[in-house]
Amino acid sequence: MSDFIKYLFIFPCLWCANSFAITQTQWDGNFRVEELGEQLNDGSQVFLQYNLKIDSKNNRASLSMTTWHAGITCIGDYSLKINSDVLALYYNG
C-alpha cells in the first residue's frame, strides 16, 4: 500500500511539471534559402539570400535578407499561426 501512495504522489507532480512544457514545432529553427536570378547587362547575376528564424514559443518569426540588385525586400518581423499543420506568417513590419 505504501508503494501505491508513493506513486500516487509522484505521478501528479511529474504530470504537472510536464504539462506546461512548450515543445518546439517542426518549423522552429534557423533556415537559409539562396537564389540566383537573371543575368544583368553588366554580366553580374542577381543573388538573394533569405535568413528566416522561427520561434513558435514566442509566436514570432524574423526574416533578414542579403541581396544584390533586388529592389523589393520583405525583411522584418512576422507573427505566426499554426493551423491544421500549416504555418502562416503575417508581416508585422
The confidence score (pLDDT) of residue 15 equals: 41
The confidence score (pLDDT) of residue 70 equals: 66
Tell whether the model's pLDDT for residue 9 goes beyond 50: no
Q: Which residue spans within the chain are E strands per DSSP?
A: 29-39, 45-55, 60-68, 76-83, 86-91
pLDDT, one tens digit per residue, over 11-69 is 444 344 433 444 567 889 999 999 888 888 999 888 889 999 999 889 999 999 988 77
Instruction: Report domain extents, the chain.
Output: 23-91
What cell does 55 get? Answer: 520561434
The confidence score (pLDDT) of residue 23 equals: 59
- With a threshold of 0.85, does the pTM exceed it? no
